[in-house]
Amino acid sequence: MTSPRATREELERRLATYVGAAAGPPEVGRDPVDGALVRQWCDALDDRNPAYLDEDAARASTHGGLVAPPAMLQAWVLPGISMSRAAADPENRQRELHALFDAQGYTGVVATNCEQAYDRYLRPGDRVTGHTVIESISGEKATGLGSGYFIDTRTTFRDQHGGQVGWMTFRVLKFKPAAPPAAARERAAPPKPRRLRPALGHDNAWWWDGLRCGELLIQRCKSCGQLRHPPRPMCGACQSTQWDTLASGGRGSVYSFVVMHHPQVPGYEYPLVVVLVDLDEGTRLISNLVGVAPGDVHIGMRVEARIEDVDPELALPLFRRETSAGG
Amino acid sequence: MTTFTLDTSDEIGVARAVGIRDLTFFSRVPHGGGAAVGVVHQAAMAVATGAARTVVCYRALNGRSGQRYSSGISDGPTTSDLIHWSWYMPFGLMTPASWVAMFAQRYMHEFGVTSRDFAQVAVSTRKHAVKNPRAFFHGKPLTFADHQSSRLIVEPLRLYDCCQETDGGCACIVTTADRAGDARHPAAMIRGIAQGAGGDQEVMTSFYRPTISSLPEMDLVARQVYSISGLRPEDVDAAVIYDAFTPIVLWQLESFGFCAAGEARDFVNGGNLELSGRLPSNTHGGQLSEAYVHGMNGVNEGVRLIRGTSCNQPRRNDHVLVTAGVGVPTSAMILGKAA
Ligand SMILES: [Zn+2]
C-alpha cells in the first residue's frame, strides 16, 4: 500500500462513504440447493435429521419432501476458492474498505458476531442469491486486540423468484494489532539465559553492592580485627557485633578447584572452572577462574580477581591467572 | 515418628495412612543425609525418656522421578539457607557432586590420592550389590576400567564416583530392649549413637576451615559414639559407611580411626572393605549401587548385619558401625547384639 497515512478525521470521512453501499455485486449461488452438499454438511455436524437426509421420511413429514438445514443459508452463495481472488474485483467495495483500513495500519481482522434469520426452508433445486450491504461502521474502539473499527454488514438472501428466504448480519473488527505484552514478547524471543542471582538479605547484600561499586570486600571485626568470609552478623572469636570492611586486593592462590561438566545449567559456560581461592588477606572465597584451560589449573597457582559485569545486573569477582607481581 | 526435614511426606500424613492414632512424639532432623542416623538418635532419646514407647524412623523420596538433587536451588523467601547458597550459585557451584569434588581435589593434592583410589571404593561396593536382589545394580558388575572410562561429572569425580538417584523408601523401628525382645525378628541394640556439627560448619560447603581434608563433624560424632559405647575401632566388625560419593568413604575411615589421616587409600586398596577384609563395608551395595535413600537403607542394612541376614554376611558381626551424610551436620551409631 502506498497511500499515505490519513488523519483519523480524514479516515472517518472516507469510511462514511461506504456506509449503506452494496458490499459488491450480488452473490449468486454457483449451484442450486442440492442433496450432495446437504449430506456433507450433516456428516460434518453429525446432524441425522431425516428431514435433510431420508427422502421417504421427509415426504411423510410436515415438510412433504427433503429440505436443507436452515443454517446452511450462507453456504449456498459462497464462491469457494475464488473468494481469495475477490480483491481484484473492482466492484467489491468490502475488499476496498478492508484495503483502506490496512493502509492505515488497521491490518488485523477478526469476525466477532454473526446472526441469521430464516423465512422458509430451502429445498433441492432452489437457487439462492445474496445481497450484502455495508450497514454501519463504528467509531474507533479500544479493544483487547488493539484499537479498531467494527464493520457491520447485512446480507439478504433471495430465491429464484426474488422472494426473501433469510438474512444474516456479520460483524468484523478491523484493528491495529497492539504491541504484545512484555511477557508474551519474552516468550517470543527468550532472553539470553543468565547466571542465578544471589538472594539478598541484611547479612550479605552489602557484599554484592560492593562488587557493583568495584570493590571485593571482606568483613572485619571492629573489636578484634578478625576477617571473616562468608560474612555473618557476629564475630565468632570475640562476640562483637561491630564490624567494618576491608577492600581486598583480589590476589591470592588456588586452594582447591573443580571442573564442572554435568549438569549444565543455562547461563553458564562448560566446562566451568570453580576455584576456592586463598586471598592474600587470609580469607577464602569461591569464584570462577576464566582464561585458563581446565587442564592447566592447579592447586597453588597465583590468581587475581577482576570485577566483571556478567550481565547488566550482576557483577562477579572473576579470577584470572595473575599477570603482575603484587601492587 | 521421626524423619528428615527434606521428606515430602509429613508425619501425620504417614500416621493417618497407616492407621497410627495416638502419636506422642514427632521430630525432624535437618541437613539431608546427615539425618540418616540422627532420626534414630531422636527416636532413641524419645524412648529413653518415655516420650514414646515405639518410634518409626522413615525416609522416602522420589529422587529419580521427582525433585532431583542435581537440579539446583529454587527461589523462595530470603532465608539464611538461601543466603548461604548465594555464595555458590552465581558461580555455578550448585550440585552435591561439585561440593564434594572441591574437598576431594584438595584431599588428593595433600595425600597423593588418585581417581583409581576412588574407583576401588566403587568397585568393591558394586561386588556386594551384584549379589543383592534389592540393589539397582544387582547382577551388574563394575570394573576398574568401567569406572576410569566413565564420563566426568565434576572433575575430579566421574560418573561412578556418584551415587544413584532413586525412588524409594525405608523405615526402621526403635523401641525398648524389653519390647524388642518380644518381636518376631531379632533386634539390634544401639550401643552408641550421636549427632555432630563442627566449628565453622556449613551445609556441604565448609570450605573455610584451616584444612578441608578431614571432617571435624564426623570426628566429633566418632568420639562420642566410641565414648558412649565404650568400644574402639578394633571392636567394629563391619560397617555401613555413607557413600553418596566415593571419596567420602575414605574420609570417614579416617574419622573413625580405621586408619590414620591420608592413609585411607591404602586401607581400601588392601581390599579391607570387602567381605574378606578387615572391615566389610556397604554389604548391601551402598548408595553407590543399592539405592540412594539418604542413608536409611544403610540403617536397615546395619540391622541385617547384626541379625546375620545380609546378602553379603560377614563372619564376624558383633558390632556394626552405621554412618550418615558427609559435609553436613551428621550422625552415626554402633549397633550390637541384643543382650
Ligand atoms: Zn572479634
- CB nearest to A261's CB, from B85, B154, B200: B154
Q: Does A257 touch chain B (CB under 8 A)?
A: yes
Domain ranges of chain B: 2-337
Could you say which of A200, A230, A294 has the minimum Cβ distance to residue B87?
A: A230
Chain A residues in contact with B245 (beta carbon < 8 A): none
Is beta strand B54-62 parallel, antiparallel or unpaired with respect to B167-175? antiparallel
Measured on CA atoms in the order A11, A16, A19, A25, is the torsion positive or negative? negative
Residue A2 pLDDT level (bands cut at 50, 70, 90): very low
What lies within 8 Å, CB to CB, of A167 at 6+ separation is A116, A117, A154, A155, A156, A157
Q: Is A215 exposed, middle or buried (0-12, 13-18, 19+ CB in 10 A)?
A: middle
Q: What are phi and psi of B241, to 5 degrees?
A: -105, 120
Burial A187-201 (b: 16+ CB within 10 A, else e): eeeeeeeebbebbbe
Q: Is the dihedral of CA A60, A61, A63, A66 positive or negative?
A: negative
For an interface test with B, which of A211, A260, A296 has the most B Cβ atoms less than 10 Å from its Cβ?
A: A260
**What sign has the CA pseudo-torsion B307, B308, B313, B315?**
positive
Residue B81: per-residue pLDDT: 83
**Of A126, A17, A12, whose CA–CA distance to A76 is shortest?**
A126
Q: How many residues does chain A have?
A: 327
| Averaged pLDDT, B98-109 | 98
**Inter-chain CB proximity A204 and B154 less than 8 Å:** no
pLDDT of residue A131: 93
Judge contact between B209 and B199, C-beta under 8 A. Answer: yes
> How many of the other CB atoms lie within 10 Å of CB of B193?
25
Report the pLDDT value the prediction gives residue A327, as an integer from 0 to 100. 45
Which ipTM was obtained for this model? 0.90
Q: Report the distance separating Cα A29 and Cα B174, nearest Å.
A: 88
Among B44, B27, B14, residue whose Cα is nearest residue B188: B44
Position B168, amino acid: G
CB atoms A261 and B212 under 8 Å: no
Sheet of A217-221, strand order: A227-228, A217-221, A243-247
pLDDT, one tens digit per residue, over A287-300 is 999 999 999 999 99
**Four-way CATH pick for B2-337: 1.10.10.10, 3.40.50.1820, 3.40.47.10, 3.40.50.980:** 3.40.47.10
Using a CB-CB cut-off of 8 Å, the residues of chain B touching A199 are 75, 78-79, 82-83, 85-86
Amino acid sitting at position A39: R
Quick one: chain A helix, strand, coil %, rounded to 5? 25, 30, 45
Task: Determine the pLDDT at residue B241.
Answer: 98
Q: Is A262 in Cβ contact with B151 (below 8 Å)?
A: yes
- Chain B residue with minimal CA distance to A290? B91
CA distance A258 to chain B (A): 5
- The number of C-beta contacts closer than 8 angstroms across A and B is 115
Q: Is A97 on the interface with B (CB under 8 A)?
A: no
Report the distance separating Cα A33 and Cα A53, nearest Å.
13
Place of cell 463504528: A138
Q: Going by C-beta distance under 8 Å and a sequence separation of 6 or more, which residues neighbour residue B106?
A: A255, A256, A276, A299, B212, B213
The confidence score (pLDDT) of residue A153 equals 94
CB of A104 within 8 Å of a chain B CB? The answer is no
| C-alpha cell of residue B16 | 493417618
- Identify whether B160 is a catalytic site residue: no
pLDDT at A144: 82
Closest to A65 (Cα-Cα) out of A125, A129, A117: A125
User: What's the CA gap between B217 and A57, in Å, rounded?
Assistant: 91
Q: Taking all residues of chain A, what is their mean pLDDT, rounded to a whole number?
A: 90
What sign does the CA torsion over A221, A225, A226, A231 have?
positive
pLDDT confidence of residue A142? 87
Find the B205 Cα to ligand 1 centroid distance in Å.
Answer: 23
- Kindly give, in sequence order, each residue whose CB lies less than 8 Å from that of residue A272, ignoring residues fewer than 6 positions away: A259, A260, A288, B92
Other beta carbons within 10 angstroms of residue B253's beta carbon come to: 25
The Cα–Cα gap between A187 and B318 comes to: 63
Cα A116 from Cα A94, distance rounded (Å): 20
Chain A: give the shortest CA distance to residue B209, in Å: 9
The residue assigned the cell 580477581 is A305
Contact A196 B73 (CB under 8 A): yes
A230 touches chain B (CB under 8 A): yes
CB atoms within 10 A of CB B337: 16
- CA distance to partner chain A, nearest, from residue B113 (Å): 14
pLDDT tens, residue by residue, B215-238: 999 999 999 999 999 999 999 999
Distance B223 CA to ligand 1 centre (A): 30
pLDDT above 50 for A167: yes
The alpha helices in chain B, defined as continuous H runs, are 11-18, 38-49, 80-85, 96-111, 115-130, 144-149, 177-181, 216-229, 246-255, 264-269, 296-307
**A143 pairs with which residues across the strands?**
A146
Alpha carbon distance B134, A299 (integer Å): 42
Residue type, A209: D
pLDDT digits (tens, 9 = 90+) for A29-50: 989 999 899 999 999 998 989 9
Ion ligand 1 — residues with CB < 5 Å: A 221, 223-224, 226, 235, 237-238, 240
Q: What's the mean pLDDT in A87-96?
A: 76
| Parallel, antiparallel or unpaired: strands B2-4 and B27-29 | parallel
Mean pLDDT of A6-26: 88
Residue B280, class by beta-carbon neighbours within 10 Å (0-12 exposed, 13-18 middle, 19+ buried)?
A: buried
Spatial neighbors of A187 by CB under 8 A, at least 6 apart, are none
**Nearest Cα to Cα of residue A277 among A294, A255, A305, A298:** A255
Q: Residue A230 Cα, ligand 1 centroid: separation in angstroms? A: 15
Residue A284 has pLDDT above 50, yes or no: yes
Could you give all domains of chain A from N- to C-terminal order, each with its CATH number?
8-33+68-180 (3.10.129.10), 205-321 (2.40.50)
Rounded Cα–Cα distance for residues A106 and A191 (Å): 30
**Helix, strand, or coil (residue B183):** coil
Residue with cell 504484545: A180
> Tens of pLDDT along B244-286?
999 999 999 999 999 999 999 999 999 999 999 999 999 999 9
What's the rounded Cα separation, in Å, for the pair B269 and B276? 13
Catalytic residue status for B292: yes
pLDDT digits (tens, 9 = 90+) for B147-160: 999 999 999 999 99
Query: Could you report the per-residue pLDDT of A205-252, keeping only the tens digit for each?
Result: 999 999 999 999 999 999 999 999 999 989 989 999 999 999 999 999
Q: How far apart are the CA of B106 and the centre of ligand 1, in A?
A: 29
Residue of A nearest to B86 (CA): A198
Q: How many residues does chain B have?
A: 339
Give buried/exposed letters for A296-312 (b at 16+ CB in 10 A, else e): ebebebebbbebeebee
Query: Separation of A210 CA from ligand 1 center, angstroms?
Result: 22
Closest residue of chain A to B110, computed from CA coordinates: A299
